Amino acid sequence: MGIVERMRLDGKKGFVTGGARGIGKCTATAFAEAGADVAIVDMDIEEAKKTAAEIAAATGRKVIAIQADVTKEAEVQAMVDQVVAELGGLDFCHANAGIAINAPAEEMTLAQWQKIIDINLTGVFLTDTIAGRYMLKNGGGSIINTASMSAHIVNVPQPQCGYNASKAGVIQLTKSLAVEWAQKGVRVNSISPGYIGTELILSAPQLKPLISKWNELSPIGRLGKPEELMSICVYLAGDTSTFTSGSDFIVDGTFTCF
């Protein structure tokens, strides 16, 4: 069997949080294209259903939509239970849901800070541990967390201390879980994207000046594409990465190299 065949995900089952659009939609598409059945998990259930139908039609895989708030333990548990019941198991997941709030630290409210931490860090903790419990009891699996290059650098010109701190926490959480579960069959890794030109970012008028500045600062001179994160996630979800755990993969077009 060649490397292409060994990297396929045939027979595997998984889910992507924040999967209705952007990075999550791209990775869910990649998982299905590689042969997996996938659940699209999102707060926006109508968009999730639309994405699920689109991916299912394009790939022929079973793709379902589930509404869940990743900050609510009961909802994450119900979501994992539904994935297992409807797809027939759980072999991998991509904890991708997240938000950014740009506000100067001296003006940021506690409510803003808490919202970022609740979604970006606590939401990943709940997703990982609840999915992890199932995997630990059922032969193992792979967990992929979306961190950010913002865990490694301080972005400019936008002020985003809460976002940066939350994503740094995701990387350390990833490493901690990977070590705890190293001999129990569950791998945990993270990806740290740079500036990615999702539909949402490209269509937001207020971000145009920032995009120009980001491109000016970037050695590669452009935003990344969501599709440029697909292959690393398929690798991490599959069986060719069984010696890879506790790693953070920076995919930023050299932005953090200087």
Distances (CA, A) of 106 to 19, 99, 103, 109: 33, 20, 8, 8
Q: Which of 25, 142, 148, 195 is catalytic?
A: 148
163: annotated active-site residue: yes
C-beta atoms surrounding 77 within 10 Å = 16
Catalytic residue status for 235: no
Active site includes 231?
no
* Residue 217 to residues 4, 77, 150, 255, Cα–Cα distance (Å): 36, 42, 14, 8
d(CA 141, CA 136): 8
The Cα–Cα gap between 241 and 188 comes to 11
**Biggest alpha carbon distance in the chain?**
57
Distance CA 143, CA 98 (A): 16
Catalytic-role residue among 163, 166, 218, 235: 163
Q: Which of 42, 10, 27, 86 is nearest to 251 (CA)?
A: 27
Rounded to 10 deg, the angle between the 22-33 and 45-59 helix axes is 30
The catalytic site residues sit at 148, 163, 167
